[in-house]
């Protein structure tokens, strides 16, 4: 038998077998205790589940660098009947990952879109004030947010909302990590390897979003997405024509510094960091 056909059939079987696995209900990950003054990382998530999908770097910072990772639920989705159930699912996912959780409002912000920014300035200013208060109250060293062209309207809206909030705060600077999911960044500069164990932990975390993965088992496609990240990142981050790194799974980011109202890239050349590197 053609071994590549067998390989493809094996992939398909693994995916189908994954549909029978339990959703949520797993014991929280064992993590070191945090000091009361632990440095903070804020994840501004457009929707519940983004904290898991792009959560590799936060997971490593929580476990290895003892950061207080706080997920900020910017919205709880557009379906009102699902907003509070999604919040409960989100709480469970964050509990599993040892992330803390903040809601922008009880049911999340509405209309976090560029059209609101352009056509309803008073409404947008209220959202800016809400996000700016969260940033000032937590004084994070690092902020994660979607990049400016991440296709989904709420992802793009969240990018500009967080940036507008940052610009409204006087004399504030922090590290910025931009994420991608719906659309690839044109100029990422950081690729981080995920071990198979870490990937499994992130898939587990997504599985807590039960109502979402029942309609679309996208938690099971995370390995394929991370494998494709390695393919792309080898050249987009590492340089055109570069050799692929010797690992299987990765997440791509863009690292920078926010200061004086703008984001400056953290480094000129891209960085590829394996799990064997000192992190």
* Three-state secondary structure call for residue 195: coil
Q: State what percent of residues in the chain have pLDDT above 70.
A: 99
Tally the residues of the chain. Answer: 279
Return the pLDDT at 278: 66
d(CA 62, CA 33): 10
Cβ contact 252:190 at 8 Å? yes
| CB-CB contact of 202 with 55 (8 Å) | yes
Quote the percentage of the chain above a pLDDT of 90: 95
Residue 218: pLDDT band with limits 50, 70, 90: very high
The mean pLDDT of 165-194, rounded to a whole number, is 97
pLDDT confidence of 242, banded at 50, 70, 90?
confident
Cβ pair 246, 259 in contact under 8 A: no
- Calculate the CA 127 to chain-centre distance: 21
Q: What is the pLDDT of residues 66-85, one digit of tens each?
A: 999 999 999 999 899 999 99
What global pTM score does this model have? 0.96
Supply the pLDDT for residue 144: 98
pLDDT of residue 159: 98
In 3D, which of 48, 141, 172, 183 has the Cα closest to residue 103?
Answer: 48
Under the banding of pLDDT at 50, 70 and 90, the label for residue 166 is very high
Q: Sketch out the chain's domains with CATH numbers.
A: 36-180+188-273 (3.40.50.10320)
- Cα–Cα distance for residue pair 198/88, rounded to 1 Å: 23
- Closest C-alpha to 30, from 97, 82, 117: 97
Q: What is the pLDDT of residue 1?
A: 84
**Whether the predicted pLDDT of 268 surpasses 90:** no
H or E stretch covering 271: strand 271-273
Angle at 186 (CA atoms; ends 183, 191), nearest 5 degrees:
85
Residue 51 has a pLDDT of: 98
Task: Give strand pairing partners of 184.
Answer: none
Nearest-angstrom CA–CA distance, 78 and 98: 26
């Amino acid at each position: 038998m053609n071994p590549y056909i067998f390989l493809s059939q094996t992939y398909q079987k693994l995916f189908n077998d994954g549909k029978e696995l339990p959703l949520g209900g797993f014991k929280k990950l064992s993590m070191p205790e945090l000091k009361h003054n632990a440095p903070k990382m804020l994840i501004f998530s457009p929707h519940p589940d983004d904290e898991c999908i792009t959560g590799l770097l936060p997971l490593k910072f929580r476990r290895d660098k003892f950061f207080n990772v706080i997920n900020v639920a910017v919205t709880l989705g557009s379906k009102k009947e699902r907003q509070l159930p999604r919040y409960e699912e989100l709480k469970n996912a964050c509990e599993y990952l040892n992330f803390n959780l903040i809601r922008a409002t009880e049911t999340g912000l509405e209309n976090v879109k560029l059209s609101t920014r352009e056509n309803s300035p008073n409404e947008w200013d209220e959202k800016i004030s809400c996000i700016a208060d969260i940033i000032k109250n937590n004084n994070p060293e690092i902020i994660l947010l979607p990049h400016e062209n991440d296709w989904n309207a709420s992802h793009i809206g969240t990018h500009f909302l967080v940036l507008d909030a940052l610009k409204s705060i006087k004399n504030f600077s922090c590290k910025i990590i931009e994420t991608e999911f719906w659309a690839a960044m044109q100029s990422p500069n950081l690729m981080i390897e995920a071990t198979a164990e870490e990937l499994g932990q992130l898939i587990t975390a997504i599985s807590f979003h039960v109502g979402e993965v029942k309609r679309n088992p996208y938690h099971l496609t995370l390995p394929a997405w991370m494998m494709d990240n390695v393919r792309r990142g080898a050249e987009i981050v590492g340089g055109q024509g570069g050799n692929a790194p010797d690992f299987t799974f990765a997440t791509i980011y863009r690292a920078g510094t926010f200061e004086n109202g703008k984001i400056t890239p953290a480094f000129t050349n891209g960085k590829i960091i394996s799990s064997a590197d000192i992190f």
